[in-house]
Amino acid sequence: MQGELNGGVWDCHTHIYGPWDAFPLPANASYRPAEAPMTQLLALHEQLGITHGVLVQAACYQADHRALLSALAMTKGRYRGVALVDHTTSGDALRELHEGGVRGIRFNFMGHLPGERDLDRLRELAERVGPMGWHVLLHGQLDQLLPVLDAWEDLDVPLVIDHMGRQDATRPLDEAAVRELERHLRKDNRWIKLSGVDRLMQGAAPPWTAALPLVRRLVQAAPERAIWGTDWPHPNIKGDVPDDSSLLAFVQEACGAEAAEAVLVHNPQRLYF
């Protein structure tokens, strides 16, 4: 099915680590992954037929974006970045990130990752970057994110739900929570990222059939605002590292041909350009 897509395919969720000789981790890194430089990601994308990507700043690098900006510069505008910033980040620093290809910021609510949790401060950040054409990536479990979406109901900045809200697809879904997520996703500036199915399946091997109903519901709720990513190189996961070609095949199966073209090509093009 991949060959039938019209236009450039996007992988909207990746991380890079290193190379260590140029971009070592800080001594207080929240986790210490294996080296995974941009050259490896580009080789993978060429193998999969992916022409565009999004680099999400790794929490272990904190607010040091040198590795991310260096990697973006290698792609001559084909890739975009998502940064980690806080209330101390200056306007000049935001402009530098924008010029380097950054188009969003990520708020981490997962307990194992560092990050601001105060919603008032986070909203102030969102309102600072919104006029720059940026979006906000919300990373947390669904029960953590729904109160944020409720509190920011009137926020006119695109909000992207990361990894489908980190739900557990191996157990019966919380129907009330999923319906509430669907309600939010029907709004014009609320997006869903169909990444992390291996995480939703608690590290199980493909074909991840049990996750298909949830993914299809999310696509149906926001067919023009759903995007996808591999999560390469898959940090902090349970089980074996998933095969990225299987992840791409899964989202194509879940979406069907017409929706897959929107998710993999047209929707990310609108969000990032």
Region 117-135: what's the mean pLDDT? 96
Reduce the DSSP state of residue 73 to 3 states and report it.
helix
Confidence band, pLDDT 50/70/90 cuts, at residue 117: confident
Region 84-110: what's the mean pLDDT? 97
Instruction: Write out the H or E segment, with its range, that includes residue 268.
Output: helix 267-272
Instruction: Write out the H or E segment, with its range, that includes residue 44.
Output: helix 38-48
Active-site residue among 11, 162, 198, 231? 231
Q: What is the DSSP secondary-structure string of 179-248?
A: HHHHHHHTSTTEEEE---HHHHTTTPPTT-GGGHHHHHHHHHH-TTSEE----BT-TT-SSSPPPHHHHH
Q: What is the pLDDT of residues 207-224, one digit of tens each?
A: 999 999 999 999 999 999
pLDDT score, position 66: 98
Q: What angle do CA 232, 56, 141 make, to 5 degrees?
A: 85
Residues near 51 by beta carbon (within 8 Å), at least 6 away in sequence:
8, 9, 10, 45, 78
Residue that the structure tokens 């298909």 belong to: 212
CA–CA dist 45, 43 (Å, integer): 5
pLDDT score, position 2: 47
Q: What is the DSSP secondary-structure string of 117-169?
A: --HHHHHHHHHHHGGGT-EEEEES-HHHHHHHHHHTTT--S-EEEGGGGS--T
Q: What is the pLDDT of residues 9-47, one digit of tens each?
A: 999 999 999 999 999 999 999 899 999 999 999 999 999
Query: Quick check: 160 pLDDT over 60?
Result: yes
Residue that the structure tokens 């990536």 belong to: 137
CA–CA dist 214, 111 (Å, integer): 24
Rg over CA atoms, the chain: 17
Query: Quick check: 7 pLDDT over 80?
Result: no
Asked if residues 6 and 261 have their Cβ atoms less than 8 Å apart, the reply is yes
Query: Quick check: 232 pLDDT over 50?
Result: yes
Confidence band, pLDDT 50/70/90 cuts, at residue 127: very high
Asked if residues 46 and 89 have their Cβ atoms less than 8 Å apart, the reply is no
Region 219-248: what's the mean pLDDT? 96
Confidence band, pLDDT 50/70/90 cuts, at residue 166: very high
Q: State the average pLDDT for the chain.
A: 95
CA–CA dist 102, 191 (Å, integer): 18
pLDDT score, position 6: 65
Residue 93 CA from chain centroid, whole number: 22
Structural domains of the chain, with CATH: 2-272 (3.20.20.140)
pLDDT score, position 3: 45
pLDDT score, position 177: 98
| Percent residues over pLDDT 90 in the chain | 92
Region 175-188: what's the mean pLDDT? 98
Report CA dihedral (19, 24, 30, 31) to the nearest 10 degrees.
40
pLDDT score, position 4: 57
CA–CA dist 264, 257 (Å, integer): 10
pLDDT score, position 116: 76
Query: Quick check: 1 pLDDT over 50?
Result: no
Region 166-181: what's the mean pLDDT? 96
154 belongs to the catalytic site? no
